A and B are shown apart, each in its own frame.
Chain A
Amino acid sequence: DTAVSQTPKYLVTQMGNDKSIKCEQNLGHDTMYWYKQDSKKFLKIMFSYNNKELIINETVPNRFSPKSPDKAHLNLHINSLELGDSAVYFCASSSLYNEQFFGPGTRLTVL
């Protein structure tokens, strides 16, 4: 009965590869988010989708492409991975204008 789930939990890959992280929520929320947490624990929003439409895109390189096939899923695809992409990526969901619920995070390591 996990509320917001992400897969995989850990992802180790080489520079230049393409990878995806999946997120699913079973809370019936209509808004989903991706946040990036860097090595100093700083958290910053990357994207937000409401009813499958992109509403926030925070100056993220276009190598990052979110995809929302339906309201319960928001996947993050990353092309041509770079060392600086190493971080923990958190998915979250909410009803519009209400509190956000976070997934457990995906730790991405680019070698």
Chain B
Amino acid sequence: GDSVTQMEGPVTLSEEAFLTINCTYTATGYPSLFWYVQYPGEGLQLLLKATKADDKGSNKGFEATYRKETTSFHLEKGSVQVSDSAVYFCALSDQGAQKLVFGQGTRLTINP
């Protein structure tokens, strides 16, 4: 079945550092790919998405590019802030299945 693998956390960085959170996927079809963020004590919010190969999703300084050849959707940000501290989830949705399959989540902590 479909699956998503994220880099293990937790990840701790200093403010203004460069962030990469790796995400790879396995899918039989042509899934849409997502990054969701969960701030402490809150629900999940969609951060960005990409629906086809080579699409780049971006939001709030975060970017991720849908790489079909490497089955990856790595999340990047050039300069992180303390307010970016949260748990980040990579996910895919096979349109035929209509469900989201999540990675295990990566906890990110940014220190001032």
Q: Which residues of A contact B (CB under 8 A)?
A: 4, 31, 33, 35, 40-45, 48, 50, 55-56, 58, 90, 92, 96-97, 99-105
Contact = CB atoms under 8 A, between A and B. Distances in A.
A interface, over-half SS:
strand
B interface, over-half SS:
strand
A25 to B, nearest CB: 12
Interface stretch (B17-25, B44-52, B67-75): B44-52
Interface string B87-112: 10100010101111110110100000
A99 B102 contact: no
B99 A48 contact: yes
Nearest to B101: A45
Interface of B: 34, 36, 38, 42-46, 49, 87, 89, 93, 95, 97-102, 104-105, 107
Given A31-B98, A55-B98, A99 B104 contact: no
A41 B9 CA distance: 12
A48 B28 CA distance: 21
Contact of B105 (A33, A42, A103, A104): A42
